[in-house]
Structure 1
Amino acid sequence: MRDRLPPLPLFRTFEAAARHLSFKQAADELCVTPAAVSQQIKALETHLGVPLFLRLTRALRLSEQGAAMLPSVQAAFGCLDEAVRRAGVVQTGGRLTVVAPPSFASHWLVPRLPAFHAAHPEIELHLASRADTVDSGGEAAVLAALDRPAGDEGCAMAIVYGAGHHAGCRVDALLAPELVPVCAPGLATAARPLHTPADLCRQVLIHSDIYGSTGRSGQPWGWPQWLQAAGVDTPVATPGRHFSDAMLAIEAALAGQGVALAARPMVAPSLAAGTLVAPFPVAIRSPYTYWLVARADVARRPAAVAFRQWVVAQAALDAISP
């Protein structure tokens, strides 16, 4: 009897598609493409010899046979989940490697990690910072960051700053940060004080290439857009200072070397401590978002699920950068 049953993954695909009544939403849940869902449903229908869905012009409906089969399929998966739970083999432990942009790792993620370790002491978390997790490095570079080293029994996830297009991966939005000017407190009250946004044209402006290299249509992005939003038409007189990473730009601002345009979530601790100040309330939305990316097979592993649920919840708690 078991030999005549279709492969179990086909039933999982059917259950997801029937629950959502959408191949696209089922594909998002299963971390595959809608075409793959359609092919698996057709394979199941061929094996059973009956149609399971009515494919209408703008809608998807269960056929009579599909509606009759769904409750039993859902009950069967419920029995499997209960069997695994009773066996006690579902563990969230193991090794998990998370790769993130340097600024995000040091200024946002690291301060929050004690909460993750307290909630999941059984997970051995390895955090790495790499510049190729910025979208300007290309999708291939991001996917390379997810590949495990030979002999590594853990799994890898990446936090990526970019557009969020990564084929074959589960992608979850974290932060779409606002950018604000920040500087050391003494700089804002120095010989050339900052009373209005136009006063920035007489200051050294610190540029982070992580933003400038990701502007739409290849155009420079960052300070020009902020100055325009603040109503400043005067061109910047000073050449400014450029850093390859936002973390270096923030460190330069902390050292009093100029005014940096920084993502508010990354400088929130420094603003709260008073080591940095935001002299003007004007903010611009970053053109891209921080995403959590994992290959589809990795995303389903217990340690990866635990980290995803935790970090998405942490991002949701960030009231400044939703």
Structure 2
Amino acid sequence: MKRLPPLPALHTFLVTAQCCNFTRAAQLLHITQGAVSRQIAGLEDHLGYPLFLRQARGLSLTREGQDWLPRVQQVFALIEEGVQQVGARSATLQLKAPTCVMRWLLPRLMEWQALRPDVPVELTTTVQHGVDFRREVFDAAVVYGAAPNHGLQKLKLFDEQLTPVCAPQLLAGPLPLQQLADLEQHMLLHPTRDQHDWNTWLSAAGASLPRQGKGQHFETLDMAMSMASQGTGVAIGDWSLIGDDLSCGRLVTPFPLKVSTGQAYYLVWPQGSASSTLQELLNWLWERACPAMRCD
């Protein structure tokens, strides 16, 4: 198998073919005319046929040179495109986050992008609550659960605090929510199929779920919150994540009790891997996690 011609010689051929003049090619390449001539002669010797006709008035491409030119142009165009695409990907911050934190995270990422349009952020959402940086190509992630370890850098955003939420119209409707027993008159919206969140809160409140009570299960917390905001029923939500919904009146809390579960949300990234831009974004997100929501 014949070895490929050297890339520098192909680049010299490309520039020379575009101007058909050794002197001009040397100026464009910032080398001597003799160096251009030697590289072209070496390339022709490697290929086994001439690429240029040397004439008194200058150079012209041979038939083989004319065949080579578009191919070499295509090669260097692909190289340039690759450099641009890989460079753009390396400049993009790759984040991963569970869907349950989207109500809090997404508006703040959009605010960041408005402030720093020069730093693109690509967000991948998942129903999983963790991340494995050994197998997943992310710069950082938001994770939910116990405090992560295994050599990860971390910033705690806030602790999980459960409380019932509903639409304002449901609170002031014909079946108002004034005491725990009133929950039996309403559809309970569950963000998980095991009803764990509702059971945890009701246990702390000194009550339990009615065995025959009405209920609806959802795959994600966000879906349960969306249905609650439409007046469908009463959802159990994480007070740390629904501040925007409460402040704009989409949701209200019918009872004051908030129950800490011992779980929390963290920003995590591999040890020693954070660029200055990534560190800037992570610190910016951490500062926007209201101190009142954090239990450090």
Q: 2:121 aligns with which of 121, 125, 148?
A: 125
Displacement of 1:100: 0.9
Q: Is the 8 A contact 1:146 1:157 kept in 2?
A: no
The aligned runs of 1:138-149 (5 Å cut-off) are 142-143=131-132, 147-148=136-137
CA contact (8 A) 1:99 1:158 kept: yes
Structure 1 stretches (4+) deviating beyond 4 angstroms? none
**Residues 200/236 of structure 1: CA separation in 2 closer, same or farther (3 Å cut):** farther
Q: 1:255 aligns with which of 204, 227, 230?
A: 230
Shift of 1:236: 5.0
Instruction: Note the residue ranges of structure 2 that are not aligned, 5 or more in a row.
Output: 1-89
Gaps of 5+ in 1: 1-92, 136-141, 149-154, 213-219
Distance 2:134 2:234 in 1: 32
Aligned counterpart for 1:307 among listed residues 274, 281, 290: 281
Letter of the 1:111 counterpart: P
Q: State the one-letter code of the partner of 2:93.
A: L
Residues 288 and 145 (structure 1 numbering): CA distance in 2 closer, same or farther, change over 3 Å? farther
Instruction: Give the 3 Å change call, closer, same or farther, for CA 188–95 of structure 1 in structure 2.
Output: same
Give me the TM-score of the superposition, normalised by structure 2: 0.62
Deviation digits for residues 187-236 of structure 1 (CA, Å, limit 9, x no counterpart): 223332211022112321111129x5xxxxxxx63112211222325735
Measured after TM superposition, the shift of residue 297 of structure 1 is 4.2
TM-score with structure 1 setting the length: 0.58
Deviation readout 1:55-86 (Å, 9 max, x if unpaired) = xxxxxxxxxxxxxxxxxxxxxxxxxxxxxxxx
Question: Equivalents in 1 of 2:151, 2:218: separation in Å?
Answer: 33
Q: For residue 102 of structure 1, what is the aligned residue in structure 2?
A: 99
For 2:134 and 2:189, the matched residues in 1 are separated by: 28
Counterparts in 2 of 1:124 and 1:145: CA distance versus 1, 3 Å: farther
Q: Confirm or deny that 1:295 pairs with 2:295.
A: no
Give 1:144 deviation, angstroms: 5.8
Alignment correspondent of 1:87: none
Partner residue in 2 for 1:113: 109
Say if 2:155 is the partner of 1:172: yes
SS at match of 2:120: strand
C-alpha distance in 2, partners of 1:225/1:193?
A: 23
By how many angstroms is 1:160 displaced? 0.6
Indicate the residue corresponding to 1:319 in structure 2: 292
Report the Cα distance in structure 2 between the residues aligned to 1:233 and 1:114, rounded to whole angstroms.
40
1:321 deviates by 4.4
The 5 Å alignment of 1:211-230 reads 221-230=196-205
User: Deviation at 1:280?
Assistant: 0.8
Give runs of aligned pairs for residues 1-322 of structure 1, distance below 5 A.
94-105=91-102, 107-132=103-128, 134-135=129-130, 142-143=131-132, 147-148=136-137, 155-209=138-192, 221-232=196-207, 235=210, 237-298=212-273, 300-315=274-289, 317-322=290-295
In structure 2, what is the Cα distance between the partners aligned to 1:321 and 1:265? Answer: 8
Counterpart AA for 2:292: A
Distance (Å, rounded) in 1 between the aligned partners of 2:123 and 2:117? 15
- 202 and 236 in structure 1: CA distance in 2 versus 1, 3 angstrom threshold: farther
* Structure with greater helix share of residues: 1
Q: Using the TM superposition, give the Cα deviation of residue 121 of structure 1 relative to its aligned residue in structure 2, in angstroms.
A: 3.6
> Which structure has the larger Rg?
2
Provide the rounded CA distance (Å) in 2 between the counterparts of 1:225 and 1:275: 24
Structure 1 CA distance for aligned equivalents of residues 218 and 272 of structure 2: 36
**Secondary structure class of the residue paired with 2:143:** strand
Distance 1:321 1:254, change over 3 A: farther
SS in structure 1 of the partner of residue 226 of structure 2: helix
